[in-house]
Amino acid sequence: MIRWSKNLETREDLRELIYWKVESTLKRFEYDFQFSNEPIQVLRHTYAQEIANLIFDSFENK
C-alpha cells in the first residue's frame, strides 16, 4: 500500500515523479549501453534493478 504525502496527492503526481527519476537514471546509463564490454543482458538486469529500487524508494520517501 502506498502512503501518499501532500506533495503527491494524485496518481498523476506519482507517475510524473517516477517518470523523471527513471528518465534521469536511463541518461546515466546511456553511455554504458553504447560502450560497455558487458553483455546487454547483464546491463539490462542491473539497470532494471536500479530503476525498481528508485521506484520503491519513491514510495517510501513520499
- C-alpha–C-alpha distance, residues 30 and 54, integer Å: 17
pLDDT at position 4, please? 45
* pTM (global) more than 0.85: no
pLDDT at position 13, please? 83
pLDDT at position 1, please? 38
Helix, strand, coil: what percent of the chain each, to 5?
Answer: 75, 0, 25
Each residue's pLDDT tens digit in the chain (62 positions)? Answer: 344 455 556 788 888 888 888 888 888 788 877 888 888 888 888 888 988 888 888 777 65
pLDDT at position 60, please? 73
